[in-house]
């Protein structure tokens, strides 16, 4: 009996070790497959000609998956999405273009191209048509909001929903100290002193401030973003382009009622991920969206203007959860 017990115990121990080894191997295999899938997410850097301009864009993810178009703000480019794109591309088709005069896209002379929000939105609209993207979600931040909302009101049937991160569509969002000198420029566009008063917003100190102000822990902010942006801002002629766009931003508030009417009529699902410490677009601009939209997933984050820099993982998870519901409808 004792001999039998020892044999049985030995057999069971061996069986347990084999079973444990099988589970371990299976888990390791699954981890390997997951790691391989993530490793295969390649962000491609492409250029396409649109309206005679070379438009640079980043693209990743399966072309058959729902498409997300990422529209950047000032003074950056599609580089602001460099860390977000791979996190979304596991499940979604992601496209992030640079506007004319920004990033790696063409920067035509001001005598050859009028730098206005109407024109930039038209180029971005034609860009999406050139890529034959027929339906998409729009991620809009800062300048991306007036560009994206122009596209959406022109083609409501194409836009499946929004992710809004510090992008304005209401007067409340511009009722703060930051906008006062810019509004003075809108009132006096021929006054060169009003224009020159805004040139300081194009300095490296101002660019770095946009990245770091309102961030609880600035050590989380990589210096690469503001350095990259400033390098492109400092190109000959670019600061005059940016000053033209400061003036053109005055064309956006008169369109707010039109955009709000679009929200009320079409009720696009919206995820709001807003850096509540932003002094340019404070949380006062986030709240009014809930007046006009019934389906709003609303999050105020302890972050600044470029919330992706400090809260990128949190935002990515919120986007994936939001799209998991919105893309299935």
Q: By percentage, how much of the chain surpasses pLDDT 90?
A: 87
Q: Which residues contact 166 (CB under 8 A, 6 or more apart)?
A: 73, 141, 142, 274, 275, 278, 280, 281, 285, 286, 305, 307
3-state secondary structure the chain: CHHHHHHHHHHHHHHHHHHHHHHHHHHHHHHHHHHHHHHCCCCEEEEEEECCEEEEEEEECCCCCCEEEEECCCCCCHHHHCCHHHHHCCCCEEEEECCCCCCCCCCCCCCCCCCCHHHHHHHHHHHHHHCCCCCEEEEECCCHHHHHHHHHHHCCCCEEEEEECCCCCCHHHHCCHHHHHHHHHHHCCCCHHHHHCCHHHHCHHHHHHHHHCCCCCHHHCCCHHHHHHHHHHCCCCHHHHHHHHHHHHHHCHHHHHHHHHHHHHHCCCEEEEEECCCCCCCHHHCCCHHHHCCCEEEEEECCCCCHHHHHHHHHHHHHHHHHHHHCCC
pTM above 0.85, yes or no: yes
Place 181 in a pLDDT band, splitting at 50, 70 and 90. Answer: very high
The chain-wide mean pLDDT, for the chain, equals: 91
* Chain segment 266-292, per-residue pLDDT in tens: 999 999 999 999 999 999 999 999 999
Higher pLDDT, 117 or 19: 117
pLDDT of 14 over the 80 cut: no
What residue has token string 């529209």? 71
Complete domains list, the chain, with CATH:
43-326 (3.40.50.1820)
**Residue 45 appears among annotated catalytic residues:** no
* Chain segment 286-321, per-residue pLDDT in tens: 999 999 999 999 999 999 999 999 999 999 999 999
Place 26 in a pLDDT band, splitting at 50, 70 and 90. Answer: very low
Q: What is the structure's pLDDT at 161?
A: 98
pLDDT of 35 over the 60 cut: no
Q: Which residues contact 96 (CB under 8 A, 6 or more apart)?
A: 57, 58, 59, 69, 70, 72, 78, 81, 85
Q: What is the structure's pLDDT at 327?
A: 86
* Chain segment 208-239, per-residue pLDDT in tens: 999 999 999 999 999 999 999 999 999 999 99
């Amino acid at each position: 009996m004792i001999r039998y017990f020892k044999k049985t115990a030995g057999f069971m121990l061996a069986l347990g070790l084999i079973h444990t080894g099988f589970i371990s191997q299976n888990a390791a295999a699954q981890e390997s497959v997951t790691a391989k899938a993530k490793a295969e997410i390649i962000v491609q850097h492409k250029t396409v000609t649109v309206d005679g301009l070379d438009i640079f864009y980043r693209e990743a993810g399966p072309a058959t998956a729902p498409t997300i178009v990422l529209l950047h703000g000032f003074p950056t480019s599609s580089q602001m999405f460099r860390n977000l794109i791979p996190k979304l591309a596991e499940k979604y088709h992601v496209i992030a273009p640079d506007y004319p005069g920004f990033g790696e896209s063409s920067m035509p002379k001001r005598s050859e191209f009028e730098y206005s929000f109407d024109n930039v939105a038209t180029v971005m609209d034609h860009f999406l048509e050139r890529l034959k993207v027929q339906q998409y979600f729009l991620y809009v931040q800062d300048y991306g909001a007036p560009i994206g909302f122009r596209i959406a009101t022109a083609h409501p049937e194409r836009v499946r929903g929004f992710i809004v991160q510090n992008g304005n569509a209401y007067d409340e969002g511009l009722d703060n100290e930051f906008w006062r000198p810019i509004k003075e420029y809108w009132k006096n566009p021929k006054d060169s002193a009003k224009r020159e008063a805004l040139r300081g917003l194009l300095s490296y100190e101002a660019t770095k401030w946009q990245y770091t102000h309102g961030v609880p822990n600035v050590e989380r902010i990589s210096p690469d973003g503001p350095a990259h942006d400033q390098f492109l801002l400092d190109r000959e002629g670019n600061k005059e382009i940016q000053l033209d766009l400061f003036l053109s931003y005055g064309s956006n508030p008169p369109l707010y009622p039109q955009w709000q009417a679009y929200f009320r009529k079409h009720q696009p699902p919206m995820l709001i991920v807003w850096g509540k410490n932003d002094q340019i677009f404070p949380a006062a601009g986030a709240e009014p969206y809930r007046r006009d939209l019934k389906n709003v997933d609303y999050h105020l984050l302890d972050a600044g203007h470029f919330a992706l820099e400090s809260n990128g993982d949190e935002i990515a998870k919120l986007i994936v959860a939001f799209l998991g519901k919105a893309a299935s409808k």
